[in-house]
């Protein structure tokens, strides 16, 4: 097990290139099992633990998977021999539930362990199961496993009681091969959902309305293999923007989609950053200034993403003024606050709000990551803290950030990984 050592105080400068989006790639990997006759090739794949785990899962099902040196992945599902997602593989990531819809759509059978992932609150799978039940699936849940069976799925109207990204993705994938038309209302509008729909349409699906809260899918008889490049990771983009802002730096981010982080750019401009962007690049210049406190309230896209809440919390700990962070998505997503307090942050929790009084400086300390985005926020705090910060349990960061310490080193950060 490794830890990260950060000597704070360096102003970040330079260029960084953004990797493919984990939350786009994972459902695409799962959807690949629905292709017939030809292989699926996915490009712009980030080198992440969750991607590796999903590849291992597909391989144990019998899918033939080939990776080249550039992390392009070719998948041949014609060799699939079982439809079982065991606990030892899926226990570390919530997105493992995404194999359920594709397996049922293509093969009519699936046995999937109830998923794991970050311990940041309730992320129920009931909405997935209720929707699939309406499409004709029968379930038996015993000993921590979901056993699901159906003949051909039947298209219908699905209305989610609350917006769910993975729920939308699961039903979106399942309905591509269903009989008739499926209408998904209160659908998630995230760019990763849109990218998945575009990928499925390339495979021969008939999907319209993606990017809105009503998606219509006309079922087709089969899907074909394609070559497709995943979109850049907007959360990685936001994290590096905050890294520059918190250190008073100046960076240019390449291989990104600036429209996908519009709300993050807006908040960082409020904090005092000068930001210029093109369609595929963003330059942020803090001019060496201390950021101003900014209030944020998380919500479903296009509102402020919950996956950036911890990073803005870190920024506000050293900002001038007082800020309020309101978390509306997950009820347990403030676990990083206790660790930041060890570094001198002044934060008070009131229900789903964090009230932050900005300090002149943080002080390096030994801290422990509790989830993926919390680990990123502790790195950000360490970059600006006086002295040395040691971050343990960094396996969380490897689930969602591609070579983060190497990219930060390119920008001048004094950060390195070492075994504990």
DSSP 366-412: EEE--SHHHHHHHHHHHHHSBSEEEEE-THHHHTT-TTHHHHHHHTT
In the three-class reduction of DSSP (H, G, I as helix; E, B as strand; rest coil), residue 355 is classed as strand
Based on the residue annotation, tell me whether 118 is a catalytic residue of this protein.
Answer: yes
In the three-class reduction of DSSP (H, G, I as helix; E, B as strand; rest coil), residue 97 is classed as helix
Backbone angles phi, psi at 255, to 5 degrees: 55, 55
135: number of Cβ within 10 Å = 23
- Tokens at residue 175, please? 């309905």
Residue 382 CA to residue 407 CA, distance in Å, equals 15
Active-site pick, 118, 156, 353, 403: 118
State the maximum Cα–Cα separation within the chain, in Å, rounded to a whole number.
Answer: 63
- Torsion angle, alpha carbons of 252, 256, 258, 261, to 10: -100
Residue 341 CA to residue 48 CA, distance in Å, equals 29
Q: Of the candidates 349, 390, 45, 372, which has an alpha carbon nearest to the alpha carbon of residue 239?
A: 372
The size of the chain, in residues, is 420
Cβ pair 80, 63 in contact under 8 A: yes
- Tokens at residue 154, please? 């039947």
Whether cis (ω within 30° of 0) applies to the bond prior to 302 is: yes
Catalytic residues: 118
């Amino acid at each position: 097990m490794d830890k990260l050592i950060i000597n704070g105080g360096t102003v970040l400068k330079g260029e960084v290139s953004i990797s493919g989006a984990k939350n786009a790639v994972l459902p695409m990997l799962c959807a690949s099992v629905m292709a017939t006759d030809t292989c699926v090739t996915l490009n712009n794949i980030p080198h992440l633990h969750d991607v590796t785990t999903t590849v291992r899962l597909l391989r144990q099902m019998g899918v033939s998977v080939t990776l080249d040196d550039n992390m392009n992945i070719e998948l041949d599902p014609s060799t699939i021999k079982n439809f079982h997602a065991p606990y030892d593989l899926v226990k570390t990531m919530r997105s493992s539930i995404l194999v359920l819809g594709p397996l049922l759509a293509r093969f009519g059978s699936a046995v999937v362990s109830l998923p794991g992932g970050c311990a940041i609150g309730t992320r129920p799978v009931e909405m997935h199961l209720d929707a699939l039940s309406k499409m004709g699936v029968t379930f038996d849940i015993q000993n921590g496993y979901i056993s699901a069976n159906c003949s051909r799925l039947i298209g219908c109207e699905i209305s989610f009681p609350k917006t769910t990204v993975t729920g939308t993705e699961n039903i979106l994938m399942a309905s591509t091969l269903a009989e008739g038309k499926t209408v998904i209302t209160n659908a998630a509008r995230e760019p990763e959902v849109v990218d998945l729909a575009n990928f499925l349409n390339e495979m021969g699906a008939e999907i319209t309305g993606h990017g809105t809260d009503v998606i219509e899918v006309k079922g087709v008889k089969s899907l074909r293999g394609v070559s497709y490049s995943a979109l850049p990771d907007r959360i990685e983009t936001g994290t590096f923007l905050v890294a520059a802002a918190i250190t008073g730096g100046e960076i240019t981010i390449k291989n990104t989609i600036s429209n996908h982080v519009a709300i993050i750019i807006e908040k960082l401009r409020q904090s005092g950053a000068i930001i210029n962007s093109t369609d595929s690049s963003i330059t942020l210049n803090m001019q060496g200034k201390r950021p101003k406190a900014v209030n944020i309230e998380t919500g479903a896209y296009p509102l402020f993403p919950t996956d950036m809440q911890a990073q803005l919390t870190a920024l506000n700990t050293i900002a001038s003024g007082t800020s309020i962070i309101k978390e509306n998505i997950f009820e347990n997503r403030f676990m990083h606050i206790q660790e930041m307090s060890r570094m001198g942050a002044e934060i008070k929790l009131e229900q789903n709000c964090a009230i932050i009084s900005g300090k002149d400086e943080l002080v390096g300390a030994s801290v422990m990551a509790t989830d993926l985005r919390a680990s990123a926020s502790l790195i950000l705090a360490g970059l600006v803290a006086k002295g040395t910060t040691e971050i343990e349990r960094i396996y969380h960061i490897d689930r969602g950030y591609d070579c983060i310490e190497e990219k930060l080193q390119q920008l001048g950060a004094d950060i390195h990984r070492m075994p504990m």
